Structure 1
């Protein structure tokens, strides 16, 4: 690797290998710089989601993984998931159904200890306005469209201030007319915040929209 992980910002996958039984699924040695997107493509069962699980700290014990993960110069390989500062977006938005839209966003902001609830509410309202959903604070998530739910899930994730963004085919459940707009929103927000992004997908259009390097498993 050209840059030593200790001196590199962004997300570094240092000689990462993931096996299932005798089958090698993933071999990856890459750095994703701030604001960059690396797309990993492959069919179902190729190891795409397992790679994200390893980075986030959720890899099933049935898999065997080697290598190290660095985020902004800090090794996170052995840290518990809640301390890794990586944000995950899945195919489904996974909003909390017992919370309003605003409460879902405040959940992401609860980690910010030096701000009162009113200050956090202002941040949540601003986030809603930022994605064209002003006035949705009190709405029930069940009343929203799939695209609206995905926008809320994105802003909840960004409000938690992750150091990297992991995308597990988050656009696949959307219809074609909304998919392009949501792709552009996600990637533009990641660039704006200088987040390294790892996208796994089987859709070539996702890779084209991401605009970065593509690896095929």
Structure 2
């Protein structure tokens, strides 16, 4: 099996060495950058990365600026490494298009589990390209090439956003809990006060709202979400 290619952008030399030693035997190929500018250059080079691990506090260019510039041209999954207890960093990163976050300090096993969850999602989509296109009067969601159109306008989605919308549309008219979305898309249980799913849904609403005035995702407070339009 071809090793999955990871890009680790972090200025902590000891941590990057530890993670490289820990993850390499798990069939990951790891490239490392120790500042944001170098990391962005590597991330946007010709080399393909399956996942980017991106620290927030970086020299030269911080992690948010790296993510902002990356998302202008690239939808590679990004796992943000944030300061423990800093809710602003987590929410801001998710708003800017990060797929998930992990607060420092963390157990390497927890990081490995997060990476595996994202990789599984990528492989699942790649191996299930014959899934049916999901369409409403305004939306067309195509699992084959992971694209979304709203009233013929193409909308770029991150892998996490695509996964959430696919589940919601597949269960149109029915409540899908935040816990279910977190487990199926992020590969982890939803922790108390975790707003990850809320932020991804908010991003979806903003993107779709550029081309449609009709609210398509209803919030059921304290429970989850319902995709309100019928499939055609």
For normalisation by structure 1, the TM-score amounts to 0.26
Which has the larger helix fraction?
2
